[in-house]
């Protein structure tokens, strides 16, 4: 191909970079985690956000594709549309320069599309401020994970396994946790306002100072749980099992109790 010697106007330069990045991506088809981290640094994106994006994409790949009960998955849409565009602007020059100056990276690329998290066992998932807002994690295995301060507002965690998970400061408001396994989980404190916990297993869970106001706990198992200072205002506990639970100073204002009576 004959080189183009004319200077490219400034207003077209970004289009050239964007198109070049797309062509390079189509040619390469996959990148190693190291390459993505280096590219993110060039685009001034901190490595922890690149890692978090990889973890979320792996979660989405491993989860069953089921319709959300409450809202469209706006976050997934923005990831699908926004991330390629954002990276194209910042990384185009990096990819082109790297291709021209260096030989291919010796390490084996890890295509995200082929990575199987297998119930999120690889790579490790967790840490502070994990973002799963609006994400579909139905039936996902998150047992024993450190998800403190996680934002899982309106997430679909129906049937998920959170046995023994560390969840202090986590936000599960309006989340779907129906039939989820939260036995032995640390939710002190956590926000479960207006969440669906119908049929959930919370045996031995620590819910000290947790907010469960307006929460659906019908048929939930709370036996042996620490509910001290928890707020159950306007919650529905119809048929719930509170055997051996510590309810000292718990608030049940206008809540429907296990026997169907309303606590005033």
**Quick one: 92 and 182 in the same domain?**
no
**Quick one: 46 and 137 in the same domain?**
no
**Quick one: 82 and 168 in the same domain?**
no
pLDDT of residue 59: 72
pLDDT of residue 90: 53
Identify the domain boundary among 84, 101, 118: 101
pLDDT of residue 159: 97
To the question of pTM greater than 0.75 for the whole model, the response is no
**Quick one: 156 and 250 in the same domain?**
yes
120 lies in some domain: no
pLDDT at 241 over 50: yes
**How do residues 107-135 score in pLDDT, each as one tens digit?**
444 343 333 333 333 334 445 578 889 99
- Torsion-angle region of 238 (φ positive above 0: left; ψ -120 to 50: alpha; else: beta): beta
Structurally, the chain folds into a number of domains equal to: 2
- For the chain, the residue count is 264
116 lies in some domain: no
pLDDT at 19 over 80: no
Domain that holds residue 40: 12-101
141 lies in some domain: yes
pLDDT of residue 28: 63
């Amino acid at each position: 191909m004959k080189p183009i010697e004319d200077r490219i106007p400034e207003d077209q330069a970004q289009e050239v970079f964007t198109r070049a990045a797309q062509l390079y991506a189509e040619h390469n088809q996959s990148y190693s985690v190291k390459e993505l981290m280096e590219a993110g640094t060039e685009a001034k994106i901190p490595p922890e956000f690149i890692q978090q994006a990889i973890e979320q994409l792996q979660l989405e790949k491993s989860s069953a594709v089921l319709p959300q009960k409450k809202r469209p998955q706006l976050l997934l849409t923005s990831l699908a549309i926004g991330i390629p565009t954002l990276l194209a602007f910042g990384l185009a020059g990096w990819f082109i320069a790297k291709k021209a100056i260096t030989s291919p990276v010796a390490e084996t690329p890890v295509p995200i599309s082929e990575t199987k998290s297998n119930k999120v066992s690889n790579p490790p998932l967790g840490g502070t401020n994990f973002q799963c807002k609006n994400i579909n994690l139905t039936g996902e295995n998150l047992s024993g994970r450190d998800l403190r301060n996680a934002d899982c507002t309106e997430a679909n965690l129906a049937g998920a396994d959170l046995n023994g998970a560390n969840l202090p400061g986590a936000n599960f408001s309006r989340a779907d946790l129906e039939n989820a396994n939260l036995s032995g989980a640390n939710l002190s404190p956590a926000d479960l306002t207006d969440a669906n916990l119908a049929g959930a297993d919370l045996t031995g869970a620590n819910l000290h100072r947790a907010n469960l106001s307006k929460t659906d706990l019908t048929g939930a198992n709370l036996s042996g749980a620490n509910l001290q200072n928890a707020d159950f205002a306007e919650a529905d506990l119809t048929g719930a099992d509170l055997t051996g639970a510590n309810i000292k100073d718990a608030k049940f204002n206008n809540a429907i109790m296990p026997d169907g009576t309303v606590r005033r």
